[in-house]
Amino acid sequence: MSQQLNAQAHTLREAWLTAAVKYLEPIFSKAGYAIPPVRVSCGFPASSSPRTTLGQCWPRERSGASVNEIFISPKIDEPVALLDTLVHELCHAVDDCYSGHGEDFKGIAQTVGLEGPARMAHATEELTVKLMMISQELGPYPHQAIVFPPPRPSNSSRNKATCPQCGYEVTLLKKWASYGAPICPKDSLRMVEAVPETIENTSRSDADEKVDEIRRAIS
């Protein structure tokens, strides 16, 4: 089937993802595993951070249809990254989520071509080449990634003032910060104001590393 016909066939995200499962079946069967009945949808995880979780698989007992329900984050629209995430979640489906990211999952993941820490297991170079070929067969993924707004500042990112002698620390509310740091109630000294380290104040690479620490979660 030509890529043009594929592109016309996959006008819905779920159609693309369902077809992707079919293309991935030989990889699992060659490794000695059968993919169970699954439903794959584009959606945010129910019990993990939508900012950091790229995929989630639910056990069959949680599905009214008694199938493994897999959700791929709307944050992703790059086909190879989608397939990489889908392989990870299909490993959970093979295990029916029984072992989480434990030893049984690790065995399945490594056999089909994933590497790295279990929670962040991703395709090896060899598997990535196969996924690139599959993505060409599937054609474009009919979705554009959702971009999250910057996280709201929390108490930990507000200006603080610390006593230079005893270390007493207080948080400065924005509306009062313009008046300067307060006096320490213990030592009667002017406290020293400190500007917190926020995402905006860190390098892009540091922020990206923090986001990449958790890639996928399982309920």
Whether residue 195 is found in the same domain as residue 95: no
Whether residue 103 is found in the same domain as residue 185: no
Residue 185, pLDDT > 80, answer yes
Q: Is 175 exposed, middle or buried (0-12, 13-18, 19+ CB in 10 A)?
A: exposed
Whether residue 114 is found in the same domain as residue 166: no
Give tens-digit pLDDT for 73-89: 999 999 999 999 999 99
Containing domain of residue 169, as a range?
A: 155-200
Give tens-digit pLDDT for 12-34: 999 999 999 999 999 999 999 99
The pLDDT of residue 108 is 97
- Whether 132 is in a domain gets the answer yes
Report the number of distinct structural domains present in the chain. 2
Cα–Cα distance measured from residue 60 to residue 167, given in angstroms and rounded to the nearest whole number: 54
* Segment holding 170, helix H or strand E: strand 169-171
Q: Are 161 and 140 in contact (CB under 8 A)?
A: no
Whether residue 85 is found in the same domain as residue 187: no
Q: State the average pLDDT over residues 46-53.
A: 79
Cα–Cα distance measured from residue 12 to residue 79, given in angstroms and rounded to the nearest whole number: 14
Q: Whole-number mean pLDDT of the chain?
A: 82
Give tens-digit pLDDT for 112-124: 999 999 989 999 9
Q: Coil, helix or strand for 48?
A: coil
Contacts of 61 (CB under 8 A, 6+ apart): none
Whether residue 112 is found in the same domain as residue 183: no
- Whether 212 is in a domain gets the answer no
Higher pLDDT, 181 or 68: 68
Whether residue 159 is found in the same domain as residue 111: no
Whether residue 143 is found in the same domain as residue 186: no
Whether residue 107 is found in the same domain as residue 177: no
- Whether 193 is in a domain gets the answer yes
The pLDDT of residue 215 is 37
Residue 203, pLDDT > 80, answer no
Whether residue 99 is found in the same domain as residue 180: no
Give tens-digit pLDDT for 137-150: 999 999 999 988 87
Cα–Cα distance measured from residue 163 to residue 155, given in angstroms and rounded to the nearest whole number: 19
- Whether 177 is in a domain gets the answer yes
Residue 71, pLDDT > 60, answer yes
Domain termination site, one of 116, 148, 180: 148
Whether residue 138 is found in the same domain as residue 172: no
CA 8 to centroid of chain Cα atoms? 29
Q: What is the DSSP string of 61-77?
A: GG-TTSSEEEEE-TT--
Whether residue 64 is found in the same domain as residue 11: yes
Whether residue 79 is found in the same domain as residue 39: yes
